[in-house]
Amino acid sequence: MASLIEGQARPIRLADIAKAAGVSHGTASNVFSRPEVVRAEVRERVKAVAEAMGYAGPDPKGRLLRAGKVNAIGVGTTEPLSYFFEDPFARVMMAGISEACDATGAGIALVSAANQEKLAWNIQSALVDGFILFCIEGGSRLVELTRERRLPFVALELGFHDETISAIGVNNIAGGRLAARHLAELGHRRFAVLSLTLGEDRTGFVTPEMVRSAVYTGTRDRLAGYFEELSGFGVDTQSIPVFETENEERSTTAGLEAIFAGGERPTAILAMSDRMAMIAIDWLTARGLKVPQDVSIVGFDGVPDGALCDPPLTTIAQPITEIGRRAARMILDYDGAVRRETMGVELVVRASTGPAPRS
């Protein structure tokens, strides 16, 4: 009678095959996880029973609970999941993370939190041993949520002023200086800056007070680097227009329009991302301005696309892949310490910069 009822196959458990094979569940477990300790004869019998009953092998869910380690690292962002596959910067970073994970056999779990309610849940319920956080905007909330999981995590790329969390970033001041010096040495004296976000979600021209109260010290530092260097060349940095964008097309275009609406047009643009720099190239070209003959542009990041656009982009290259590798290793080899690493950057000169036009 029982057999008649057992129609709806509920998944076979290890205990089921142990019973069917007439061994203890301890032995049954060993057959799969440490086959060498069980006598060949028994091993074969248990395996045969498992096969016959259609056992799928030890369920990772059960193992996980016991083992405690998931063997996967979570990568979180407030962007939609497709960000990881579409954004050039993210892709190079992910390649670095992948490399480190491949080397140790760890998996990668992508965690997105495009909408606020699900963000919390997704972070809270992700099955991972630690997190790498892409702190674009809304980063602070992401960090807060992740901190509550009490798992190891590393913040990338924002330069939070919170010294209590592990982070890997680049020397933004040095990067800013390199970019500015390169342009200044080419004779440029009239500049404009396309800036990443400084704090709250806003776009538009930036005032010195806003810079001082910036949440994102990464942005602030790049700006500081630009200004420090340019001051050395006698440029009045107070008069340089700085337009804060959301690092996407719409707000960047708005920034360019605002910048070029004025009378004194810049001969050089300092962009805090390659993304904005490439949008700027397109925008200028579409308006008949030649890059670099009329306007020079320096980006920031060093994404591969920059080498392919027309003209190829001069930029401040971050060691993106290496940052990814290190971030992953930081999680994989977590030892309880808070680590903050700052990587160097380098100027990559391509064709988007040239001598200042003599007016």
Partner DNA sequence: CATTTTTGTTGGATCGATTCAAATTTGTGC
Partner DNA sequence: GCACAAATTTGAATCGATCCAACAAAAATG
The Cα 348–Cα 76 span in angstroms is 30
In this complex, which beta carbon is closest to its own copies, that of residue 128 or of residue 271?
128
Is beta strand 314-317 parallel, antiparallel or unpaired with respect to 131-134?
unpaired
23 binds, among its own copies, DNA, none (CB under 5 to 8 A by kind): DNA
Kindly state whether residue 80 participates in binding its own copies, applying the rule CB under 8 A.
yes
Q: Candidates 37, 48, 52, 81: give the one binding its own copies (CB under 8 A).
A: 81
Kindly state whether residue 71 participates in binding its own copies, applying the rule CB under 8 A.
yes
Size of the site for DNA (CB under 7 A): 31
358 binds, among its own copies, DNA, none (CB under 5 to 8 A by kind): none
Measured torsion, CA atoms of residues 321, 327, 331, 333, in degrees rounded to the nearest 10: 80
* Residue matched to tokens 């696309």: 305
Q: What distance separates the 2 farthest-apart alpha carbons in the chain?
A: 97
Q: Which residues pair with 191 in a beta bridge?
A: 268
Kindly state whether residue 126 participates in binding its own copies, applying the rule CB under 8 A.
yes
Kindly state whether residue 52 participates in binding its own copies, applying the rule CB under 8 A.
no
Q: Which residues in 62-121 contact DNA (CB under 7 A)?
A: 62-63, 65-68
In this complex, which beta carbon is closest to its own copies, that of residue 72 or of residue 254?
72
238 and 191 Cβ atoms separated by less than 8 Å = no
* Residue matched to tokens 């030892």: 335
Mask 21-40, x = binds DNA (CB under 7 A)? -xxxxxxxxx-xxx--xxx-
Distance separating the N- and C-terminal Cα atoms of the chain: 97
Q: Candidates 3, 6, 7, 11: give the one binding its own copies (CB under 8 A).
A: 11
Kindly state whether residue 11 participates in binding DNA, applying the rule CB under 7 A.
yes
DSSP letter string, 67-122: H----EEEEEESS-TTHHHH-HHHHHHHHHHHHHHHHHT-EEEEEE--SHHHHHHH
Q: Which residues in 138-167 contact its own copies (CB under 8 A)?
A: 148-151
DSSP 299: E
Instruction: Determine the length of the chain.
Output: 359
Q: Candidates 13, 20, 47, 72: give the one binding its own copies (CB under 8 A).
A: 72
**Residues in touch with DNA (CB under 7 A):** 11, 13-15, 22-30, 32-34, 37-39, 41-42, 57-59, 61-63, 65-68
